[in-house]
Structure 1
């Protein structure tokens, strides 16, 4: 259903399902990881996530006891995250998806800590925290 890749194309993958739980996260951690105002992420079940190439090109950053983030070693693109408290899913960075995403964004989260220069300009539900 979906294909994705990092900036340099070393890491390529397919998603064999719709993307669920799509959120725009405005927390300070996501801003640092993405280098911009927010991160847009969604879930896929692990069995519906398939690497085409470059799985060995990923490097893991263990952010805390629950969360690991994975980046391309070559270009630095953030590709995905894994949460120990959600072990059956992979959290995909939607900016890596190369075809049109049909599922809607469900909500903005951590808007209470969004960047002061960030203006949310849509009618999607907002939550000050998770």
Structure 2
């Protein structure tokens, strides 16, 4: 797929971002951390590789929380409304976008459900997406 430009923001509109790069993956993650961070059965994240992330509004309102013992897991959010927004992940050399934060249509469809084995038993289960116990190889 070729490079795309995606726009998004937080719930209150105070933080706005733009991401440019190559869409690589789109996963529904069912791990405990994603469930806690989202307050739902899974987090839906779009990963953009070789990406540039810029905040066009509200960068001074950003807060970031990284789970101390996590290799990659972190959360970036608006300090006004608490909504998650895009964040750069050095280990991926890319940007993770909470799909619900997008103002534009996602350029790819979800590809898999990851950390399926740690899924809450009440979480959704109504599609044919591949399921992985952890990250796909």
TM range (shorter): 0.7 to 0.9
1:63, distance to aligned residue in structure 2 (A)? 1.0
TM-score after normalising by structure 1: 0.88
Find 1:77's aligned residue among 65, 75, 83.
83
The Cα RMSD (Å) is 1.8
Question: Any conservation in 1 of the 2:22–2:51 contact (CA below 8 Å)?
Answer: no
2:94 matched to 1:89? Answer: yes
Q: Which residue is 1:105 aligned to? A: 110
1:19, distance to aligned residue in structure 2 (A)? 2.7
Question: Any conservation in 2 of the 1:69–1:82 contact (CA below 8 Å)?
Answer: no
Question: Any conservation in 1 of the 2:21–2:50 contact (CA below 8 Å)?
Answer: no
1:114, distance to aligned residue in structure 2 (A)? 0.7
SS of the residue corresponding to residue 60 of structure 1 reads: strand
**Unaligned residue ranges in structure 1 (runs of 5+):** none
SS of the residue corresponding to residue 14 of structure 1 reads: strand
1:109 & 1:43 partners in 2: Cα distance? 14
Per-residue CA deviations over 1:54-92 (Å, capped at 9, x if unaligned) read 111110112135333211100001113444532x21211
1:129, distance to aligned residue in structure 2 (A)? 1.9
Q: Which residue is 2:23 aligned to? A: 19
Q: Which residue is 2:48 aligned to? A: 44
The farther-off stretch of 18-27 and 40-49 is 40-49
State the aligned residue count: 129
The farther-off stretch of 10-19 and 77-86 is 77-86
**Unaligned residue ranges in structure 2 (runs of 5+):** none
SS of the residue corresponding to residue 71 of structure 1 reads: strand
2:97 matched to 1:124? Answer: no
